[in-house]
A and B are shown apart, each in its own frame.
Chain A
Amino acid sequence: MAEEPDVRITVNVNGADCSRDVEPRLLLIHFLRDDLGLTGSHWGCDTSNCGACVVWLDERPVKSCTILAVIADGRRVRTVEGLERDGVLDPVQVGFARCHGLQCGFCTPGMMLTARWLLDHHPDPPPAAIREALSGQVCRCTGYENIIRAVRWAAENPTSVPE
């Protein structure tokens, strides 16, 4: 079968419109990493189990290894590169740094984006709600305890700025 023609897509990524010609089969995670050079989002299990590739599509966190780039056409994507605002880290990022919420850091971008979404909807989540929200994301280093602490720290310091 002949290769299908590329499709022109325009995706607003972290506030900037990005237009590219892509194959319809291209996955969003590869579009972000390979076409746009945004390597903060990590490509992990490839089976929508690990959550390392979580980004926001419009207002929802999604596993970008299971979303086609063409689906994002005309939509907004927010990646870990878009968590900070005007050079100020998001409280979730500060929490992960302060509470040692990461070791190798591979799962961290996805964890932080889901955590940001959780806090936007539930500003003061108990640890059980944090565990539930992050239950589709895998960390092989921390044993999760420090990730829970990091998200709690962000909940308790919603207007924090790094020292």
Chain B
Amino acid sequence: MQVPAHVEYEKAGSVGHALTLLARYGPTARVLAGGHSLIPMMKLRLAQPETLIDIGGLAELAFVTRTDGELRIGALTTHAKLLEAPETASQFAILQDAERVIADPVVRLWGTVGGSVCQADPSEDLSAAFAALRATMVIAGPEGNRSVPVRDFFTGPYETVVGSGELLTEIRLTAAPASFLAGSAYEKVGRRAGDWPIAAAGVFVSLDEDRATITAAGIGLTAVGADRFCAAEAEEFLLGRLATVENVARAGQIAAGHCRPVSDQRGPADFKRHLAGELTVRALRRAVQRALRQTRGSGATGSAADGGGA
């Protein structure tokens, strides 16, 4: 029987109250959101906090809002809410792709976006999606809020820059200007429904007015030991180049070459490296298709009707 070790419990009534509790209990306390990452870790005694500070009731942190230039996701937004949010249509379709394959529908109803990224599991899906989108993580602390680029957020497996007295409150995504042709996509291969990925890749691209030149590229990789969950060398290669089949294939090769997968129960390292390249190519292809479809007036990209190859 797996049960967590002894722990004390405090329920936070507001973000301010949560910060007060975090300051009072110090580094032996952990924030409890949906608990679907932390409680399994506590059962395995891989996490053994002395105090849990439950922020699960803070409705102020459960939101998805879209303004002209920005998509804001509250840390307590459940996976199910993000999956259903109309605000993630169009250029943020990568989030719908990813959420559709995170855990299973029941887990998605309770697990939270902020809890997932703060767990910092090296195989976590949203970490790669947010890396591709170059998200900004908003962290509340005793001295106010600070913003950290997602690519500086993770300091190692199961480690982030969020300090013991701090709380991730929000994830912000900058939208490309309406004049840009922007698209995104996420591709994952897992062993079975609901499992962590063997490998997965997420892509954000924008194209120039010529509908061919890549003006921005973000590539996120997870479960394959990619530095900061991204494929920086492949992004650099694509920038300013044409979105041709050859260049997309080359970007996949570069991404595969720079990650460092390890063999484990989900597969051997060479298979994961192959997947990293292939899934980068597929996500790029789909993201470019979606970007090109944006000119057809509705802007309703990200439907299930994705076509074949680029």
A binding-site residues for B, Cβ under 8 Å: 1, 3-4, 7, 23-27, 30, 46-49, 51, 54, 57, 60-63, 66-68, 70-71, 73, 114, 132-133, 135-137
Contacts and interface: CB of A to CB of B under 8 A. Distances in A.
Nearest to A30: B3
Nearest to B105: A133
A54 B7 contact: no
Interface stretch (B106-114, B172-180, B219-227): B106-114
B36 interface: yes
24 contacts: A4-B6, A23-B6, A24-B8, A25-B3, A27-B4, A46-B1, A47-B2, A47-B40, A48-B107, A60-B109, A60-B110, A61-B106, A62-B109, A67-B110, A68-B9, A68-B39, A70-B11, A133-B105, A135-B105, A136-B103, A136-B107, A136-B193, A136-B194, A137-B104
B87 interface: no
Given A4-B9, A23-B6, A51-B104, 8 more contacts: A7-B9, A25-B5, A46-B43, A49-B194, A60-B109, A61-B106, A63-B106, A136-B103
A47 B2 CA distance: 8
Interface stretch (B48-56, B64-72, B197-205): B48-56
A135 B104 contact: yes
A136 B105 contact: yes
Nearest to B109: A60
A109 to B, nearest CB: 13
Contacts of B105: 114, 132-133, 135-136
B257 interface: no
A23 B35 CA distance: 17
Given A1-B50, A27-B3, A66 B35 contact: yes
Contacts of B107: 48, 63, 66, 136
Contacts of B193: 135-136
Interface in B151-195: 193-194
A25 B7 CA distance: 6
A49 B54 CA distance: 23
B7 A24 contact: yes
A114 B104 CA distance: 12
Interface string B21-39: 0000000000010011001
Contact of B2 (A4, A23, A46, A71): A46
Nearest to B42: A25
A160 to B, nearest CB: 25
B2 A66 contact: no
Contacts of A46: 1-2, 43
A61 B11 CA distance: 22
A67 B35 contact: yes
Contacts of A51: 104, 106
Contacts of B52: 24, 68
Nearest to A67: B35
B195 to A, nearest CB: 9
Q: Across chains A and B, which 9 residue pairs bring their CB atoms closest together, nearest first? A: A136-B104, A24-B9, A135-B193, A25-B4, A60-B109, A46-B2, A4-B8, A136-B106, A62-B110
Contacts of A66: 35-36, 39-40, 107, 110
A124 to B, nearest CB: 18
B12 to A, nearest CB: 13
A66 B39 CA distance: 6
Nearest to A51: B106
